């Protein structure tokens, strides 16, 4: 059975008080309502709040993730944060290759591969994002794009290393737009991604890799998406900023 995963990507939103009170309330409700969370739940606040978030979550089954790391572990890179640093405060997961990093910070496959290598060196689990733009989809290029994104990054890893990955399919046109991929579009792409893992690493790994969908997931569409055979959970943006919506998505 593949691991079911819900990741709350808070992007550049909550401040210290919002972050800590959300996580405390979230934990309280999960326990009070006895919400069965035998899925992996990962919350991804901004860098300054990772340490306190991790402390609040100590002793629970919930985890945190960083939203990015630099591609070197130390050095003269003013303003950057490394895997080496995050490891020292107990962070074990990182989101890499998010389309917002690709678009606004010009992260290309070669840099992403370096980030992957550094993350693996510090034993991080990596949530690696792939996905096409609306223009690419309208030209029916989505499969080529996703294949190239994986080929030039994740597929440089050994079969042992690749066990540390979750793949998130996030079509760019569905991120923050309210326009979700249809069940069919999402399932078809997830199946395709799994077939690429099969071709590269064989059945054992392709059967086990969790492939998450991201892009305007909400409390109403999550159940349908997650019921697809190749969709193993979600990477959630906007709806993860609302407690009740996030809880409903987890219960889906």
Q: Which residues are catalytic?
A: 98, 170
Q: Find the binding residues for ligand 13P in span 171-210 (CB under 6 A).
A: 175-176
- Show the binding pattern over residues 41-80: x = contacts ligand 13P (CB under 6 A), - = does not: ----------------------------------------
Query: Cα-flanking dihedrals φ and ψ of residue 96, to 5°?
Result: -125, 150
Question: Of 214 and 233, which has the nearer Cβ to ligand 13P?
Answer: 214
Closest contact distance (angstroms) between CB of 129 and ligand 13P is 7
Point out which span in 12-20, 133-141, 197-205, 214-222 binds ligand 13P (CB under 6 A): 214-222
User: Helix, strand, coil: what percent of the chain each, to 5?
Assistant: 50, 15, 40
The Cα–Cα gap between 16 and 46 comes to 9
Does 217 sit near ligand 13P (CB under 6 A)?
yes
Question: Of 106 and 158, which has the nearer Cβ to ligand 13P?
Answer: 106
Does 97 sit near ligand 13P (CB under 6 A)?
no
The conformational region for residue 52 under phi > 0 = left, psi -120 to 50 = alpha, else beta, is alpha
Closest contact distance (angstroms) between CB of 158 and ligand 13P is 27
Closest among 148, 57, 56, 44 to 102, alpha carbons compared: 148
Closest contact distance (angstroms) between CB of 12 and ligand 13P is 12
Q: b/e per residue, 124-145, with b = 16+ CB within 10 A? A: bbbbbbbbbbeebbeeeebbeb
Does 216 sit near ligand 13P (CB under 6 A)?
yes
Ordered DSSP codes for 199-232 = HHH-HHHHHH--EEEESS--TTTHHHHHTSTT--
Does 245 sit near ligand 13P (CB under 6 A)?
no
Question: Of 96 and 116, which has the nearer Cβ to ligand 13P?
Answer: 96
Separation of CA 122 from chain center: 18
Q: Which residues bind ligand 13P (CB under 6 A)?
A: 9, 98, 170, 175-176, 214-217, 235-239
């Amino acid at each position: 059975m593949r691991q079911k995963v819900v990741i709350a990507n808070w992007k550049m939103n909550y401040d210290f008080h919002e972050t800590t009170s959300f996580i405390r309330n979230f934990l309280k409700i999960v326990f009070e309502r006895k919400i069965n969370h035998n899925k992996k739940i990962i919350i991804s606040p901004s860098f300054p709040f990772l340490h306190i978030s991790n402390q609040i979550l100590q002793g629970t089954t919930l985890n945190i993730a960083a939203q990015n790391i630099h591609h070197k572990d130390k050095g003269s890179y003013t303003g950057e944060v490394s895997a080496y640093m995050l490891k020292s405060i107990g962070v074990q997961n990182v989101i890499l290759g998010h389309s917002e990093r690709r678009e606004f910070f010009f992260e290309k496959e070669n840099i992403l591969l370096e980030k992957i290598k550094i993350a693996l060196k510090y034993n991080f689990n990596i949530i690696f994002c792939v996905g096409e733009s609306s223009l690419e989809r309208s030209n029916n290029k989505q499969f080529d794009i996703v294949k190239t994104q994986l080929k030039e990054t994740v597929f440089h890893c050994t079969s042992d290393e690749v066990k540390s990955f979750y793949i998130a399919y996030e079509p760019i046109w569905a991120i923050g737009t309210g326009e979700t991929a249809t069940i069919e579009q999402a399932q078809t792409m997830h199946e395709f991604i799994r077939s690429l893992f099969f071709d590269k690493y064989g059945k054992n790994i392709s059967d086990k890799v969790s492939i998450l969908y991201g892009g305007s997931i909400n409390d109403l569409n999550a159940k349908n998406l997650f019921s697809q055979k190749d969709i193993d959970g979600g990477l959630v943006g906007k709806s993860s900023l609302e407690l009740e919506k996030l809880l409903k998505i987890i219960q889906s």
